[in-house]
Chains A and B, each alone.
Chain A
Amino acid sequence: MSDYSMKDIEWAKINRDVLASLESPRKEFWIVLSVCIFLVLCGAAAEVYQYNEGLGTALMNKPHFWQLYISNFVFWIGMSHSGTLLSAILLLTHADWRKPIYRFAEAMTLFSILTAAIFPVIHLGRVWDMYWVLPYPNERGIWPNFRSPLLWDAAAITTYATSSILFLYVGMIPDLAICRDNAKGWRKKLYTALSIGWMGRASEWMAFRKTYVLLACFLVPLAVSVHSIVASDFAMSIMPDWHITSFPPYFVAGALYSGCAAIITLFVLLRYVFKFEDYMTTEIMDKTAKLTFAIAMVWNYLNLSEYASIWYSNDMFEKEVLLEKFFGPYHWVVWGMLLCALVAPFAMAFEKVRHNMWAMFWLSLVLQLGMWLERFQIVSPPLASNHEPWTWAVVWPGLIQLTITVASFGWFTMLFLIFCKVFPSVSMYEVKEMVFHRRKASSRTDMEDLDKVKDDMIKAEEGLS
């Protein structure tokens, strides 16, 4: 397979293909969407019941004050990191293979945050007083507690959500303009409003580029800090096996890991559903898989080093939890996680697997399952064998929690499906850029003459759109 397989695509075909994905959906779309909506409604019903009756219906108790809601929160926040990684980091590192896939990755980021943000809310005992967490001036003269990681969480997530929306939106403006030019009816109005008068002038491109890169620069450290803060929800406590210094990097690695896995899943799906084979090529999958593999190895290392450090610290409480994790009542969760997230990624070491779309699809699901289990085993087993042996108790999440968990997947998918039908899920202008670059590059025998390529690019860009 050639590295330059995309060079022959007509630009008009790009527009046509991508815009086709926005057209009236097929029957299957509606089926999937209604299943998602049904799940969301189930979740909403569960939440209403829980809200009325009390959180006890979710079977959380003492000592299991936290359970699936928090694991899910960490899971979804983790998943949101992929978009940032692909867009921002790869943008800044000029990895051009990101171009056909970053748009949906960013959308995924956004929707993961929106999903994650639900969990702290339904987790609260008194949801109606949630705004007290925000530091707003009030007549009572009370501030929230700035030392609480939960407060940092609230701040970090709102910041991250806002920035992600902005990043997604800014990156979409030129495409929205294309849509505007091809749309009728309500879509026309929508795209007109959203594309804020984009004409594709050089000055606009200049401003656009600058904004986009700046946002990317802002987002990379933000993303790292967000998950470090989520990690500090655990690391700042004194619970054995939560109070671990390496949690922030471990969480960031885990987040990128599960995010990449999710990208692979959606990559394969979109490729087949919208017939994007021309853009989402095997080559790109290969690169994504390699990246995922690398991150998996970092995560593996951090995970194992955590076990090792607990072991040689010989701390009674920590060791107790570690042993309970492996041999206690939650052992199958831990072993399941190790199998799915620690062993399974080694499959990606083989090119055959990397180049087989459906193999990658199933593998990515396994990885995500592993990472979901990982979040569960971070939250529950340490609570089950805490400092105070009298309170040791094993609690499995109840029906309400499981329903809401499943509903969160429905919610995410629902948002994503709607997004795919309203907004172009592949970046048209960036793909054009990519095709252009490759076409240029392949037509040249002398690859070193980069200056000329650059000049050509600038010229070409001026005349784009």
Chain B
Amino acid sequence: MKQDKVDDKLASDCTRRTFLKAMGLGSAGSALVLSGCGDTDIVNEVDIEVRKELVLPNVDPQDFVRPGVEMYYASTCRQCPAGCGVHTRIREGRALKLEGNPVSSVNKGSLCMMGQAGLQGHYNPDRLTKPMVRKGGKLVEVSWDEAEDTLIKVMGRKNSKLAWLNGATSGHHAALIGAYLDAVGSKNHFVFDTLPPAVGHAANEKMFSNAVPKLALDKAKLIVSFGADFLGTWMSPVQFAKQYADFRNAPRGTLVQIEPKMTLTGANADRWLPIRPGTEGHLALALASLLAQDAKYAGRVSSDVLASLKDVDIEAVAKATDISAERIHKLHHLLTSHAPSLVLSGSSAEGFEHGSQAANAILLLNVMLDNVGKTILPREEVDFPDLHPQLGGWAQLKSFVDGLNHGDFDTAVVFGTNPIYQAPDFMGADKAFAKAKTKVSFSMFPDETTMASDVVIPIHSPLEEWNTSMPAYAVEDGQLNLQQPVMNPVFGDDSTRAFGDVLLTLLQNIDAQFKRWDSYQTYVTDALLTMRPVLVNPPRATVPGQTPEEGFKQGILSTGFVQLKSKKSKPIVAKLEPVDLPTATGDDAKFPFHLVPSPRAGLWDGRHANLPWLQELPDQLTEVVWDSWVEMHPKTAESMGLITGDVVNVKSSSGSLTAKVVVFPGIHKNTIAIPLGQGHTEYGRYAKGIGVNPYKILNAKFDKQTGELATHATQVAITKVENRGDLVTFAHGDLVLESNTSTQAGREIVKTVTAEQFNREEKEV
């Protein structure tokens, strides 16, 4: 081969299969570190094949670069707002595997499936690699220079009509966004993330004066959860799973889950109770009234609250909730016989017009049972409110959309969220978005909102950028997680840029102050250096000749987070208000089924639908892959003549959609559930065109107190469209037997013992 050809090939090879690795620490980005030799084969074929392949030496490597030897870099998982610490396994400049960071208090070394699949977002073939600008109605790829010019034109000036919408965020991204909005003089900052339980947070705030009090699941003897799927999709699943593991140790805690559709947590409950959707608060109130009969419990609440508990008719509640009176009394007995306990309120209890009141009723139980201070603990006070997590909710999306509709904003900037996909049809988010004169999207992927924008800025993956963040739900207050680039950008330096860098450049155009920092990296490291005095045990130089700064940086990067000093706060004093619940209404004759849009641990709210590992990970309950489906109780399905796989039309008063039925025993008879996550019209090859998004057909109902969308309040009607579609489930038996009754056929594959036996045996051991 001629020399120039080799060089040509090298140029293409360099982008694809050799990578720059910028670990930072002093000389990030300056040294060109190419992958080593030896095991550079990427697709290893099993068959012998004679190849004359290139082996590229490093040009000027750093000392720690060793081809063939793995290294681990600490960073933070950004797959959901929980903020687990990760260790990234690196070899030859490639990130190969994410593992939990054992010293991070959030996840203590474990990781969930979404964290594991973070790599597939990072290496996703559908990632945006070029900035795009809409020209003549079409998005066309442009050079970075042009994109920057456009950006400065659009965003680099004072503009009070600029609206900013981002997903849950925290740390220095949040701080920088705040600084940017201050600089442009815009007050239109909206935060929208689908799953954080905004209603619950508001109820907590009201009752315990803290939106996210610490929960000690491991200390509880009994957990009664009203639809809080803490093992799957509720706030910080890995952390709760860790606590759950402790909770299940002998003496074993008892878990009761009350919800219309069985979640992953429900599947692990000692008793799972299917409840008629929207009556969770009534059940809680009934339990409270039973408790109030005992002065021990009644004494903990004020008289006006007690008065509201007086006239609760257990039989009527039993009828309304579809939970027998006998069972309610048993629950009461459980609550009184286990202390401390913990009562949780989750999205399926809160997603109604009376959601706040339901949460109020449920949390009231905690006060009566004296769990506050035992399993519900106060937060410590941490400075730097700018860094605190912003979780947002549907109410803010609503204001954003309303603002767009009123023409209040001429420029809309979206970052880290996908409102056009998420918002129900009735909101008309896509039409409203189109009204803004200029739409800017910072995104890694061609999602729905991005493809509807005018300026598209492709940003780095979390594994390629510097950043800090705070966990949405922290177990140790004041933990500030760090991210560092664990490898050089997958698509090369000219393709994607760090969000922080782009925003910093914009800021520098408006506010010269920010010119102090030449990159987001220096911005973050400078900030961390200045924070040194308020950190718990800031690392010091360990190697002779190291400056204290270098020592500090090395120390914090190898830990993966810093701990801010915090002040001990006062114990929680619960503020109670009488619960005001509407009387439970009967079923709507026209729309006889309650619709539960159920989040899946895996696809989350749909943001992970483009990760093939998660698409192929079966749903934990129905074992379906690569699809959307309608869960339906066997009895209901039988009465309607439906079997697993049949295609049905689900119609609400706001719209309709078509999906396949999965006959599923873990669902209330009057309820159907459609999982979230699918139904993308954009979002790359793995997500596009698969399934449906149940949010689309939600009715315009909002929680009366918080204004959050009542996600569970929609009622639907079902009609059969056709027989057997191509539904794929790993529970083959379900398809064979035409019902969801996977049986062990007499094999002892999963054996069960009673908790009593378990405790006895563990004691002996």
Contact, chains A and B (beta carbon distance below 8 A)? yes
A residues adjacent to B (C-beta < 8 A) = 316, 320, 329, 385, 387-394
Among A316, A387, A392, the one with the most B-chain Cβ atoms within 10 Å of its Cβ is A392
- Is there contact, CB below 8 Å, between A320 and B736? no
- Is there contact, CB below 8 Å, between B736 and A329? yes
* Chain B residues, Cβ within 8 Å of A387: 747
**Cβ of A385 to closest chain B Cβ, rounded Å:** 8
CB contact under 8 A between A394 and B742, given known A387-B747, A389-B747, A389-B749: no
Q: Would you give 22 A-B contacts (Cβ < 8 Å), ordered by A? A: A316-B746, A316-B747, A320-B745, A320-B746, A329-B736, A385-B745, A387-B747, A389-B733, A389-B742, A389-B744, A389-B745, A389-B749, A390-B730, A390-B732, A390-B733, A390-B749, A391-B732, A392-B732, A392-B733, A392-B736, A392-B745, A393-B736
Residues from 398 to 454 in B contacting A, C-beta threshold 8 Å? none
**Cβ of B724 to closest chain A Cβ, rounded Å:** 14
User: With A and B bound together, what is the CA distance between A389 and B733 in angstroms?
Assistant: 8
Residue of B nearest to A389 (CB): B745
* Chain B residues, Cβ within 8 Å of A316: 746-747
Residue of A nearest to B731 (CB): A390
* Chain A residues, Cβ within 8 Å of B743: 389
- 10 extra A-B contacts, CB within 8 A, seeds A388-B749, A389-B749: A316-B747, A320-B745, A329-B736, A385-B745, A389-B744, A390-B730, A390-B749, A392-B732, A392-B736, A393-B736
* Chain B residues, Cβ within 8 Å of A392: 732-733, 736, 745
* Chain B residues, Cβ within 8 Å of A390: 730-733, 742, 749
* Chain A residues, Cβ within 8 Å of B749: 388-390
User: With A and B bound together, what is the CA distance between A389 and B736 in angstroms?
Assistant: 12
- Is there contact, CB below 8 Å, between B745 and A393? no
- Is there contact, CB below 8 Å, between B733 and A394? no
* Chain A residues, Cβ within 8 Å of B746: 316, 320
Residues from 691 to 743 in B contacting A, C-beta threshold 8 Å? 730-733, 736, 742-743
How many chain B residues touch A (CB < 8 A): the figure is 12
- Is there contact, CB below 8 Å, between B732 and A393? yes
User: With A and B bound together, what is the CA distance between A128 and B367 in angstroms?
Assistant: 73
User: With A and B bound together, what is the CA distance between A392 and B743 in angstroms?
Assistant: 10
Is chain B's binding surface mostly helix, strand, loop or mixed? loop
* Chain A residues, Cβ within 8 Å of B736: 329, 392-394
List of 9 A-B pairs having minimum Cβ-Cβ separation, nearest first: A393-B732, A389-B745, A392-B733, A316-B746, A392-B732, A389-B744, A394-B736, A389-B747, A389-B743
Is chain A's binding surface mostly helix, strand, loop or mixed? loop
**Cβ of A376 to closest chain B Cβ, rounded Å:** 19
* Chain A residues, Cβ within 8 Å of B745: 320, 385, 389, 392
**Cβ of A82 to closest chain B Cβ, rounded Å:** 39
* Chain A residues, Cβ within 8 Å of B731: 390
Residue of A nearest to B732 (CB): A393
**Cβ of A354 to closest chain B Cβ, rounded Å:** 44
User: With A and B bound together, what is the CA distance between A235 and B736 in angstroms?
Assistant: 28
Among B730, B731, B736, the one with the most A-chain Cβ atoms within 10 Å of its Cβ is B736
* Chain A residues, Cβ within 8 Å of B742: 389-390
Residues from 736 to 765 in B contacting A, C-beta threshold 8 Å? 736, 742-747, 749
Residue of A nearest to B744 (CB): A389
User: With A and B bound together, what is the CA distance between A273 and B736 in angstroms?
Assistant: 49
Residue of A nearest to B747 (CB): A389
Residue of A nearest to B745 (CB): A389
User: With A and B bound together, what is the CA distance between A387 and B748 in angstroms?
Assistant: 11
User: With A and B bound together, what is the CA distance between A393 and B734 in angstroms?
Assistant: 10
Interface string of B50-61 (1 = CB under 8 A from A): 000000000000
* Chain B residues, Cβ within 8 Å of A391: 732
Residue of B nearest to A328 (CB): B736
Residue of B nearest to A393 (CB): B732
**Cβ of A129 to closest chain B Cβ, rounded Å:** 9
User: With A and B bound together, what is the CA distance between A394 and B731 in angstroms?
Assistant: 12
Interface string of B67-110 (1 = CB under 8 A from A): 00000000000000000000000000000000000000000000
User: With A and B bound together, what is the CA distance between A329 and B736 in angstroms?
Assistant: 9
* Chain B residues, Cβ within 8 Å of A385: 745
**Cβ of B587 to closest chain A Cβ, rounded Å:** 37
* Chain B residues, Cβ within 8 Å of A388: 747, 749
User: With A and B bound together, what is the CA distance between A394 and B733 in angstroms?
Assistant: 9
* Chain A residues, Cβ within 8 Å of B732: 390-393
User: With A and B bound together, what is the CA distance between A393 and B730 in angstroms?
Assistant: 10
* Chain B residues, Cβ within 8 Å of A329: 736
Among B731, B732, B744, the one with the most A-chain Cβ atoms within 10 Å of its Cβ is B732
**Cβ of A84 to closest chain B Cβ, rounded Å:** 40
**Cβ of A59 to closest chain B Cβ, rounded Å:** 14
Residue of B nearest to A319 (CB): B746
* Chain B residues, Cβ within 8 Å of A393: 732, 736
**Cβ of B747 to closest chain A Cβ, rounded Å:** 6
User: With A and B bound together, what is the CA distance between A329 and B735 in angstroms?
Assistant: 12
**Cβ of A428 to closest chain B Cβ, rounded Å:** 53
* Chain B residues, Cβ within 8 Å of A394: 736
User: With A and B bound together, what is the CA distance between A320 and B749 in angstroms?
Assistant: 16
User: With A and B bound together, what is the CA distance between A385 and B744 in angstroms?
Assistant: 12
**Cβ of A239 to closest chain B Cβ, rounded Å:** 15
Residue of A nearest to B737 (CB): A392
User: With A and B bound together, what is the CA distance between A390 and B732 in angstroms?
Assistant: 7
User: With A and B bound together, what is the CA distance between A442 and B743 in angstroms?
Assistant: 73
**Cβ of B106 to closest chain A Cβ, rounded Å:** 33
User: With A and B bound together, what is the CA distance between A318 and B546 in angstroms?
Assistant: 72
User: With A and B bound together, what is the CA distance between A394 and B746 in angstroms?
Assistant: 20
User: With A and B bound together, what is the CA distance between A272 and B404 in angstroms?
Assistant: 90
* Chain A residues, Cβ within 8 Å of B744: 389
**Cβ of B730 to closest chain A Cβ, rounded Å:** 8
User: With A and B bound together, what is the CA distance between A387 and B745 in angstroms?
Assistant: 9
**Cβ of B726 to closest chain A Cβ, rounded Å:** 15
* Chain A residues, Cβ within 8 Å of B730: 390
**Cβ of A350 to closest chain B Cβ, rounded Å:** 43
**Cβ of A125 to closest chain B Cβ, rounded Å:** 11
* Chain A residues, Cβ within 8 Å of B733: 389-390, 392
**Cβ of A318 to closest chain B Cβ, rounded Å:** 12
User: With A and B bound together, what is the CA distance between A339 and B714 in angstroms?
Assistant: 57
**Cβ of A392 to closest chain B Cβ, rounded Å:** 5
Among A320, A385, A389, the one with the most B-chain Cβ atoms within 10 Å of its Cβ is A389
